[in-house]
Structure formats: structure tokens, C-alpha cells
Chain A
């Protein structure tokens, strides 16, 4: 089981043939397994004393053992101090370390990475296909597609003219930085490319997992309701840009207010940028393409300065 995402069967699908071949995703990080650390803890100092921690306690003549200078430096009534180990490690630190690696790898190739997040059915893939058509003559685009199952989305992206890799997360509810690192290495986009990472459709979990992207872009469709930013605030807080999609449907909706929706989103994240788009009619796509080019140039300038 992948130790980062907890999923049972994440796989990266480069193309149809590989998918059918199974293409098992290689996990090279340490998985927890049954170590039987069977060393004598008898403290009899008979020479066979191979545990690793330092014994900072003192054996007094009267037979008492003083743990006052033990590893933790704390006392808990009824517990030998030696057996308490202070850790203070962030639970997301594993993913964050992979995300840092990804960020370095993206920077080394001047790749501008965006992490697209939304609920299922918001129109991410259709929007990306439209954006690729508008952008591909000016900038190389490569796409990492995340879904629990099927390679349908990667096929749609390839049909739109960009190389794509599908990650199937199996039971996993989000992409993690480790999966993305593998997919990026396999995809090997040219220097200066835009990398679109389409996350698993889920408005909750992907918010907590940094993939190494320059920006999270949250896509919300007008049919989902204008109170979504308040119901799922984490995602809107984590994003830098909100694309309000399916704007072509607005004339048919009498209970969706664009103003209310954006006000809710800005309440959660006052720095959020917003664009209104339609993957169907192409409304707002040019504005988003301009945002991508401007943001990529800005990112490159920041990296050059750093």
C-alpha cells in the first residue's frame, strides 16, 4: 500500500498498451513492514546488547535506575521516561518532501505547473482541452491526469493535442506529490512547458496535498451552487485562481448569483483571483490563457531572481 496516499493500487498509465499491461507504479520509499526487532532488553549487559538508543540513565549502587536525563527530558507518572520518544514530525512531511523535490525538478526545466482541483463534473477536462487548443502554438503543454479509474481523460487531452499521462489512484481520493514526481519524469515535457495537473475530482482532500505546483486553480461550475466556497472552504483557501465554469448556463439558472459566489469565495480567501469561463462557448478562455502566460513569465522571473 502506498504510504503517502494510502491507496492500494495507484498506477501510472502512459498509454493504452501500458495500461493493459498493468504498468505497476514503483514505490521506492520505505513501506512499513513487520520488523521483528528481537533484541534482548534485559539490561544484563552480557555483551549481546544491540539496541540503538543511548542509555542516559544512571545505575545507582542501591539498585535504583534514574531516568532523569533520558531522551525525552520529561516525566510522566507511571511511565519510564526512557520509553517516551519525542518526535514532533509533521504528518504531511513525507508528501511535502516529495513536493519540494517536484518544485525543484519543475524549476530546473522552467516548467510552469498548475494543479487543477474541483468536484467531479465541473468541466475541468473540457476546459483544459479548450485551453490546450488556444495555448499550444505559443507554449508547450503537457498534462498529468488523475482519476480513480479509466484513462478516458488522458485520451481526451491527447486528442486535444497535448501529451498526457494518466494516474489511476485506485481507491485514493487525491493525487500526492510522489505520484506526480513519477508521472513528470515519465512525461518529460520540454523546457519552458506548462504542466497541467488535473487532480482527482474531489473538493476536499486534494487541498491538503501540495504537489509542487506554482498555483492551485479551483474550477467551480455554476450548477454546483454559489455557496460551495463556504461549504468547502479549504479548497478555495488553498487556491490562487478560481475559474467559474459553465457560464453559458447562467441564463437558465435563477438561483445562482455570480456576485454572491465570488463574495463567498473572497470571504474565504481575500487574495483569490477570479475568472468567469465557459468550456462550451469558449467565453473567458482567452483571459485564462493570458493569465497562464503572464503567471508563467512572472514565475520564471521570480526563479531567475532567487
Chain B
């Protein structure tokens, strides 16, 4: 269940930035999760309340933005949308697709008091 560790990292980053910005409380954390990353957003949400409890981020809202996957098809020689991490090119059906987007896992910004 590595979403628990990732949620810990999210909360830790938020608390560090909150301290740095003199915040009393974290109201909302915006997280980008690529569609092809190793992460289930539902599991992050599930862990978040438990991890944030007792910290300045307790009760904060976790807003997860799912970023679409994309890749470069070596055979078509162009950028194509990618539905699964090691999936085929939607145009030629080949597997020589190098992932270029969708792997993101980032705390983008947050709203503080």
C-alpha cells in the first residue's frame, strides 16, 4: 500500500511549505497525478484524512488533477495519446511508444490561511 507513503510525502511537503509561508492552516492541496503513474487517486484520498489528522493540514481538501498520458510513437514518428503505460499506439497498433506524459506525481500548489 505505497499510497500511504506517498500521502505522507504530500502532507510533509505541504506542512514544510506552510511553515515556510507562515501559514496557520492548510485549507486545500492541489496534486497532479498522471494517468499512467503508479498511483490510484482514490487510495490517496482514502489515506489523506488519516495522515493529515493532528497536523496543520487536518481537514484540508485534497484536489487531485488527473493528467492524461501521451507518448511518442517511433513508427508513426509523432505524439499520440496513451491510455495505458505500456500500451500500443492508437494509430498503428505498435508497441514502440515512448511515454512522454502521464507519469506526473506532484504537489502543484496549496491554499493556506
Interface residues of chain A, those whose CB is within 8 Å of chain B, are 1-7, 30-35, 37-39, 41, 50-53, 71-72, 79, 83-95, 172-174, 176, 204-205, 207-209, 233-234, 237, 267-268, 270
Judging by beta carbons under 8 Å apart, are A83 and B111 in contact?
A: yes
A270 to B86, CA, bound (A): 11
Given contacts A41-B113, A85-B112, contact A91 B106 (CB under 8 A): yes
Q: B1-41: which residues lie under 8 A (CB-CB) from chain A?
A: 1-2, 4-24, 27, 31, 38
Query: Which of chain B's residues have a CB closer than 8 A to the CB of A237?
Result: 85-86
Q: Which of B72-100 contact A (CB under 8 A)?
A: 85-86, 95-96
The answer to whether B110 and A84 have CB atoms under 8 Å apart is yes
How far is the CB of B9 from the nearest CB of chain A, in Å? 5
- The DSSP consensus for interface residues of chain B is mixed
B19 touches A88 (CB 8 A): no
Q: Is B56 an interface residue (CB 8 A)?
A: yes
A268 to B55, CA, bound (A): 41
> Contact at A79–B107, with CB atoms within 8 Å?
no
Q: Beyond A33-B55, A207-B38, is A3–B8 a contact (Cβ under 8 Å)?
A: yes
Give chain B's interface residues, CB within 8 Å of chain A.
1-2, 4-24, 27, 31, 38, 51, 54-56, 85-86, 95-96, 105-113
Complex interface: chain A residues within 8 A of B110 (CB): 84-85, 87
Contact B105 A172 (CB under 8 A): no
Q: Which residues of A contact B4 (CB under 8 A)?
A: 6
- Which among B17, B86, B110 has the highest number of chain A CB atoms within 10 Å? B86
**CB <8 Å contact, B109 and A88:** yes
Closest chain B residue to A80, Cβ basis: B111
Cβ contact within 8 Å between A34 and B5: no
In the complex the two chains form, is A86's CB within 8 Å of B111's CB? no
Pick the residue among A30, A52, A91 that contacts B6 (CB under 8 A).
Answer: A91
Q: A204 and B109: CB pair below 8 A?
A: no
User: 23 A–B contact pairs at CB < 8 A?
Assistant: A4-B9, A6-B2, A32-B12, A34-B56, A37-B22, A37-B23, A50-B22, A51-B23, A53-B22, A83-B113, A85-B17, A85-B109, A86-B109, A88-B106, A88-B108, A91-B6, A93-B9, A93-B13, A208-B2, A209-B2, A237-B86, A267-B86, A267-B95
Q: Closest Cβ of chain B: how far from A101's Cβ, in Å?
A: 17
